[in-house]
Structure 1
Amino acid sequence: MIADSSVINETFLTALLEQAAPSGFERRAADVWLAEAATFARTSEDHYGNVYAELGPEDAPAVILTGHLDEIGLMVSHVNDQGFVHVMNLGGWDPQVLVGQRIRLLAPGGDVIGVIGKKAVHVMDDDDKRKASKLEDLWIDLGLDAADVKERVPVGTVGVIEQPTLRVGTKIVSRALDNRVGAFIVLEALRALKGPDLKHRVVAVGTSQEEIGSFGSKLATHRVDPIAGVAVDVTHETSQPGVKPEKYGVAPFGSGANLSVGAMTSPTIFRQMQAAAKKDAIPYTLSANPRYTYTDADTMVLSRSGVPSAVVSVPNRYMHSPNEMVDARDVRACIDLIAAWIRELEAEPDFTRRS
């Protein structure tokens, strides 16, 4: 039975989004994810930061569902003699979105909040005003004296933007939706499958380090050794200004789950998902990815002897910013589609590529 199109487990999603968990430092988000998973599934974790939840017969063929827990962040590279903190990218930043933001640094002795500093417009010359901000021209100001900063914030300390989560109508606004919403979806899809009739061992994974190379997915897929997989991520919502449908397809808010069509993804799983969506009247759109998908699927498909895989995405505005935005209706559609596909999957499916 398909749930109301705008109803999701928002308490759990908000708890995930509120955790500071940049690439390689996913512990806080992982703990929230594991605690929720433990209420209905078997759970485990590995040394690399991946967390696992599974249902179904333990000796059955496995299907893996991945959504990455990490978010883009910053890493301290230097503290100068005035106590200003300089940082490097931890993931793919546009420095323009950092200007004027507050930053939470995960310092060893406890979190520290600071602000991104930049030369004020009043003291800029005309050339400065015309230039885009570069990360090396920005700094973090903690409002402390230099000795305190150097003692509390060693090189290698990581941080994230400090922003609250908002609900506006059916929209959810937050940093880290890319891709904590994917980690949320795979666990909620697993929850929807709970019952005595599950034929496969289904393993949901909150993966680590996607934003710097999908390294967690590579390790997790090797460990699970699945017969098939689904990576859940975000895609560009296409009704916003500047997003060309000729390149990104048509995936506006409220259009449902977005399915990737491409050379690396499995055409068989793609057709199965289309059939499941049509059977259960789940809305979906398509996007073309002729080479890489730039998701966890890119390492999943190459694991061991190759894992037939699909990519299911949530339309997202303002990606890699403090104010990413998704629609709860699309999140719901992704959950429902993945669960519907697995319910229809044969006990011994054939994923051979056929035209």
Structure 2
Amino acid sequence: MDTISLLKELTETNGIPGREEDVARLMMHYMDGLAHIERDRLGSVIGIKRGFAKGVRVSLSAHLDEVGFMVKSITERGFLLFQPLGGWIPQVMPAHRVVVYTEQGTVEGIIGSKSKHLLSVENRKEGFTKEQLFIDIGTSSREETLELGVRIGDSIAPASTLSVLNQGQYIAGKALDNRLGCAALIQVLEALAEGDHPNIIYAIATAQEEIGRRGALTAAHLVQPELAIVLDTGTARDIPGAENIDGPVCGKGPLLFMYDASMLPNQRFVRYVEHVAEKMGIPLQYEFLSFGKTDAGQIHTYGAGVPTIVIGFPTRYMHTHNCVTHLQDYERVVRLVTALLRGLDQAVVDHIMFR
């Protein structure tokens, strides 16, 4: 399957925290034949690709889930009040479509807010808080909403389709954070199917990253990695109003995370990535994530410690219904990660582990 078709299927398949099973099922479908598949009990998918029998246990992970919502209460007029799952800001929510998952099936809805005609001049300047927003599913009473099967705690996913922009260089859609990483897991496994690699690779699609990186912890206990590569998105700064903020831009190469709020990468591992990227002619950009966290924060402290790096995709408008990224960055990540895994021989591993 080509990259666009794969990304379209992955991003348009809904999977918010705690309800990742549809995406997990899709990942298992594509991993079938490429790796031996296992699961943890939180919902993560693990594809095991064995190289040399005495090779190092290397995890390559990306999270399954996307930001979404949960039904918190139902009003007398049938509207849904909701709990955000993941890091939403209220300004990007109103007027977008969502899908509510009930035991009777799915229900479509719109995130609603007061019209500007009902707001004072002062209110228009202030913007909305999440408590002022609601979901309209086209009912007029609580009873009608209940008849559709909606209950407290039901999952709510953003509704959006993948689009190709600018003659195929840019794509736009929901859940690029982090279905880009999930697609890369599959395509790296496809690349590793041709030829040898020196270690045991665990391609892990983790659950519940957006609400505390929980699947990364359970998967680490199951896999017991000795080295780890985490794939995730980073914030592109190439938009109006952010030109003076130093950082990555779309189309200029994969991200190498030098810092996030939960992890410092292994510096020998960082230098190895830089060396391989330079040899391949792949430009790198550096990400410093002062307020965000990735699955690496859970993985690198497992057991006695796991040398870990994070490689990412520069992405605009993360945690919205429509993110934007550059396909060349994605393709370079797949090539780079494949080369990193093939090159992790015993000498390189010993140097990274300082032994």
TM-score range, shorter chain: over 0.9
Q: CA deviation at 1:98?
A: 0.9
Which of 115, 120, 125 is residue 125 of structure 1 equivalent to? 120
Q: Does 1:155 align with 2:152?
A: yes
Q: Does 1:34 align with 2:28?
A: yes
Distance 2:190 2:218 in 1: 24
Q: CA deviation at 1:150?
A: 2.1
Distance 1:166 1:336 in 2: 24
Q: Does 1:137 align with 2:132?
A: yes
Quick one: which amino acid aligns to residue 113 of structure 1?
A: E
Distance 1:123 1:105 in 2: 27
Percent identity over the alignment is 29
Residue pairs, 1:229-244, within 5 angstroms: 229-243=228-242
Distance 1:35 1:45, change over 3 A: same
Quick one: which amino acid aligns to residue 284 of structure 1?
A: L
Query: Conserved in 2, the CA contact under 8 Å of 1:236 and 1:243?
Result: no
Query: Conserved in 1, the CA contact under 8 Å of 2:73 and 2:152?
Result: yes
Distance 1:216 1:59 in 2: 27
Distance 2:2 2:302 in 1: 32
Q: CA deviation at 1:128?
A: 2.0
Distance 1:54 1:283 in 2: 29
Q: Which runs of 4+ in 1 moved over 4 A?
A: none
Q: Secondary structure of the equivalent of 1:329? A: helix
Q: Does 1:193 align with 2:192?
A: yes
Quick one: which amino acid aligns to residue 111 of structure 2?
A: I
Which of 251, 255, 260 is residue 258 of structure 1 equivalent to? 255
Query: Conserved in 2, the CA contact under 8 Å of 1:12 and 1:36?
Result: no
Q: CA deviation at 1:244?
A: 5.7
Structure 1 equivalent of residue 8 of structure 2: 14
1:108-146 deviation line (CA, Å, top 9, x unaligned): 110100111211111222232122211111111111242
Distance 1:123 1:179, change over 3 A: same
Extract unaligned runs of 5+ from structure 1: 1-6
Structure 1 equivalent of residue 277 of structure 2: 277
Structure 2 equivalent of residue 3 of structure 1: none
Structure 2 equivalent of residue 341 of structure 1: 340
Structure 1 equivalent of residue 162 of structure 2: 165
Residue pairs, 1:88-99, within 5 angstroms: 88-99=83-94
Q: CA deviation at 1:73?
A: 0.4
Distance 1:190 1:76 in 2: 37
Q: CA deviation at 1:62?
A: 1.2
1:186-226 deviation line (CA, Å, top 9, x unaligned): 22222211234221011111111111111101111221111
Distance 1:37 1:75 in 2: 30
Query: Conserved in 2, the CA contact under 8 Å of 1:171 and 1:327?
Result: yes
| TM-score scaled by length of structure 1 | 0.92
Quick one: which amino acid aligns to residue 264 of structure 2?
A: M
Distance 2:157 2:230 in 1: 24
Quick one: which amino acid aligns to residue 270 of structure 1?
A: V
Quick one: which amino acid aligns to residue 231 of structure 1?
A: V
Distance 1:287 1:211 in 2: 19
Q: Secondary structure of the equivalent of 2:183? A: helix
| TM-score scaled by length of structure 2 | 0.92
Query: Conserved in 1, the CA contact under 8 Å of 2:77 and 2:139?
Result: no
Q: Does 1:298 align with 2:289?
A: no
1:167-204 deviation line (CA, Å, top 9, x unaligned): 11311101111111112112222221123422101111
Structure 2 equivalent of residue 112 of structure 1: 107
Q: Does 1:102 align with 2:97?
A: yes
Distance 2:171 2:203 in 1: 23
Quick one: which amino acid aligns to residue 91 of structure 1?
A: G
Structure 2 equivalent of residue 217 of structure 1: 216
Query: Conserved in 2, the CA contact under 8 Å of 1:72 and 1:92?
Result: yes
Distance 2:101 2:282 in 1: 41
Q: CA deviation at 1:344?
A: 1.2
Query: Conserved in 2, the CA contact under 8 Å of 1:54 and 1:190?
Result: no
